[in-house]
Structures are given as C-alpha cells and as structure tokens.
Amino acid sequence: MSDSKLTILIVDDIPENIAVLIGLLSKQYKVKASTNGSEGLELAFKKPPDLILLDIMMPEMDGYEVCTRLKGNPTTQKIPIIFLTAKAEAADVVKGLRLGAADYVTKPFEPQELLARVNNVVELTQHRLQLESLIEEKTTELVHAQKLQDAAKSSATIQACIEHLQLSISSQTKFIRQVMNYFNGCYNNICKAHQLDVNIFGICINEAVTNAVVHGNLEVPSSLKQEDWKKFEDLVDEREADPEYENKKVTIAYHVDESQIKIEMEDEGNGFDPSNLPNPNDPEAMLASGRGILLIRSFMDEVSWNEKGNKITMIKKLGIM
C-alpha cells in the first residue's frame, strides 16, 4: 500500500528546529529535512515536495537564494514556500514574501498556528491542482469528441476565467474554505496566463476573507491569537453562535479586465481608522500591522480601505510580476 501522505521538506540549519517541526508535522505529513540550502535544493529537484518550510538565515546559502532558485526552476517553481523567521527580522519577512513565499511563521513556533498555516497553504494548493486536473481532463474529452478547430475553441471557453462576480456570505468560518474553493476557479487561469503565482494570490484572498469574517464581523482581535490560541478559537466559536454577530454579512466583488484583477471586500463590523496604518515601505511597521495586511500588501500592487475601514480594495496589475 503506497503512502498517501503529502510531503513537506524542511530546510533549516538548526537540528533542534527540525526536530520540533518533525514532531509537529509527522502525524499528518511525510517529512524530509535538510540542514543546508544546497542539500535542500537537491532534495527538492530530485523529488519535489508538496510544501517547503524554509529558514531565512542560514550560512553559505540563505533562504533568499534557495527561494530564488526554486522559483526559477520549472520543476519546483509552483511549490509553495513558508519562510521560517525570527520575530525581529521584519525586513527579511517582507523580502521573502516578495521573492515568492506564500506565508511565514515566526520562531519560536506556536504549534497550533504552525499547523494552521501549513494546513491552509496545503489545502489551497491541493484544491488548485485538483481544479487544473479537472480542466485538463475535460479539455482532453473535447479534443477527442470534436474536430480540431472546434475543440480548440471549446477548450478556450472552458479555461476562460470569470470576469465579474459578486457574492455575500454569513459570518461563519466554515464558509471561508467554500468561498476560496469557488474563487480558485475564477482567478486560476487568468493568473497562469499572466504568470502570476496562483498560490500566493489565493493566500491573499484567504487572508482578506478571514480578516473580514473573524476580525471584522465577529470582532475577534488578532492579538488574542498571539496571546492564547485556544481562547482565540473559543471566542470565534462563541461569536459564530451569537445572533448579534452571526447574521452579519461579508460582501465580495470580483472584476477582471485586460489590465487588472480587482477585488473589493466589505464587512459589517466596526472597522478601523485606515490613517493609522503604517507606511507600507517600512518593513518593521508593516510587520506590526498584522500578518494578513502584510501578506496582502507584499503581493498586491494597490491596497486601500474606505474611510470607515470595513472595506478593502485589492488590485493586481496584469503583466506586472
């Protein structure tokens, strides 16, 4: 019987960190590890894993160089990367995200947060791969069923992205994954056509939806997650069952044209004062503003909020890497 577990590759020069990560991940995933960048690259090229946990600060070849080489190789460029970083390395986090990392986790690791980040990236990536496989299968069926020119035309129709979409969801975290799975079909092909990283685009949308539902409508502060993960989850569950919060909606508008992808997301929470947001060119300030905003600002070309702070507008220019 073959091992059906997905594979995670850990690249970290500190064996103690690797031991902790293996202990946390080995029940759900097949885990491989390397203590240096060169060996990590060899392992990734030889048999590409499903996810890479990559330390930034390593001797000889640091995480930036490893990430750059992975993203520059057709065999490994689509593998999602989560950077491992110390809390004080704000500039390193921003640089890593802009090199193509899908997310980051700070040391020392908070077990529940680490598992949540890993599972989130893996789930988004696996759903995208399933969608691409389905499209390829249906396209092949058309090619065999019709004349060549008709098949090409129909294939293009199947793979066309959704250009306009508007929807609303209730403030239940269970709907976040459903929304993300649906959105995957909207942006998957347009991202591929313009050589945008589908995984990172999905992470940005996921962060925005989560912020709108959990921090916006349910009014659960992100700081609580850092203080006590269980209290954070318990408060989310409590608010989801409270009619005062559960009936609030998140409205999402998606539009794509020849120049850009534009997503607007509005919740019914109290909002915040956008003027208090830090300078996006200041890494330390960006890190302090919260991981969701940091991830979104690192990838999107334009990010803005309405005056109340309960509506975010995200724009990704097409043709800009």
Q: How confident is the model at residue 153 (pLDDT cuts 50, 70, 90)?
A: very low
Peptide linkage before 221 cis (omega within 30 of 0): no
Distance CA 307, CA 299 (A): 23
Q: What is the pLDDT of residues 68-99, one digit of tens each?
A: 999 999 999 989 999 998 765 677 888 888 89
55 HSE (CA, 13 A, CB side): 27
Q: Which two tokens stand for residue 275?
A: 């003027």
Burial 196-210 (b: 16+ CB within 10 A, else e): bbbbbbbbbbbbbbb
Burial 24-35 (b: 16+ CB within 10 A, else e): bbeeebebbbbb
Is pLDDT at 145 greater than 80 in this prediction?
Answer: no
What are the domain boundaries of the chain?
A: 7-121, 161-317
Distance CA 38, CA 230 (A): 38
Q: Which two tokens stand for residue 246?
A: 């559960």
Q: How confident is the model at residue 131 (pLDDT cuts 50, 70, 90)?
A: low
Query: CB neighbours (10 Å) of residue 134?
Result: 12
Is pLDDT at 203 greater than 70 in this prediction?
Answer: yes
User: How many residues belong to the chain?
Assistant: 321
The CATH label, of 3.60.15.10, 3.40.50.2300, 3.30.70.1400, 3.90.550.10, for the domain at 7-121 is: 3.40.50.2300
Residue 264 DSSP one-character state: E
Q: Which residue has the tokens 């800009």?
A: 320
Structural contact between residues 11 and 34, judged by C-beta atoms closer than 8 angstroms: yes
Q: Which CATH architecture has domain 161-317?
A: 2-Layer Sandwich (3.30)
